[in-house]
């Protein structure tokens, strides 16, 4: 939180900057409570006209034994009014925010599977395409024939091709294995 802005960061590292002053600034926080169970569902960040600017799912942002303390600390830090509001959710709607105007926002502000996160933030998928790590080794593979040649220049081309393949596929393979083995574990598994 900055003096003039509230910065919300989602699971992908994307930031949402909300002004703390002005017509569309953060004017109050509203905890949405299930009408039947009384359990908190989420927190809406609203501006002075009462329009929701962000929706934070309770289970992702404030759940656990100290969740209410975290919510209270946010209210204190922002210095805005806080209230509860009943939220009528349909029985068939899963997750609860499906019918909410900021449903996409709630989905982005919730944790996601490692596979989905990697797909959205991977450098290769965002810049040049998912198959880019295979393009360089594929074309370098054409020069591997030089390893069986008696000519020095062909042999060096084959040797450099082998080095290129190892240096391009090695880190990509190691990164993929590390992310799948260590980053995709659920909290319960730890």
Measured from the Cβ of residue 137, the count of other Cβ atoms closer than 10 Å reads 16
Helices and strands of the chain, counted as H and E runs:
7, 6
pLDDT tens series, the chain, 190 aa: 566 788 887 766 777 788 777 777 888 888 888 877 878 888 888 888 888 888 888 877 887 777 778 888 888 888 888 888 887 665 655 776 666 777 777 777 777 666 666 666 655 554 555 566 777 788 888 888 888 989 999 999 999 999 988 888 888 788 777 777 765 555 554 4
DSSP for 103-124 reads HHHHHHTS---HHHHHHHH-HH
pTM value > 0.75: no
């Amino acid at each position: 939180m900055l003096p003039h802005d509230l910065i919300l960061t989602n699971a992908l590292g994307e930031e949402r900057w909300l002004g703390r002053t002005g017509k569309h600034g953060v004017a109050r926080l509203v905890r949405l409570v299930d009408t039947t169970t009384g359990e908190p569902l989420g927190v809406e960040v609203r501006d002075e006209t009462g329009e929701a600017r962000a929706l934070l799912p309770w289970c992702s942002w404030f759940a656990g034994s100290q969740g209410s303390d975290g919510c209270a600390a946010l209210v204190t830090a922002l210095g805005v009014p806080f209230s509860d509001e009943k939220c009528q959710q349909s029985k068939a709607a899963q997750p609860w925010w499906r019918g909410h105007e900021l449903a996409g926002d709630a989905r982005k502000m919730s944790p996601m599977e490692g596979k989905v996160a990697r797909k959205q933030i991977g450098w290769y998928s965002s810049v040049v395409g998912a198959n880019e790590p295979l393009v360089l080794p594929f074309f370098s593979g054409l020069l591997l024939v030089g390893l069986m040649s008696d000519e020095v220049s062909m042999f060096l081309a084959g040797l450099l091709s082998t080095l290129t393949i190892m240096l391009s596929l090695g880190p990509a393979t190691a990164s993929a294995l590390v992310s799948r083995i260590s980053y995709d574990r659920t909290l319960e598994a730890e």
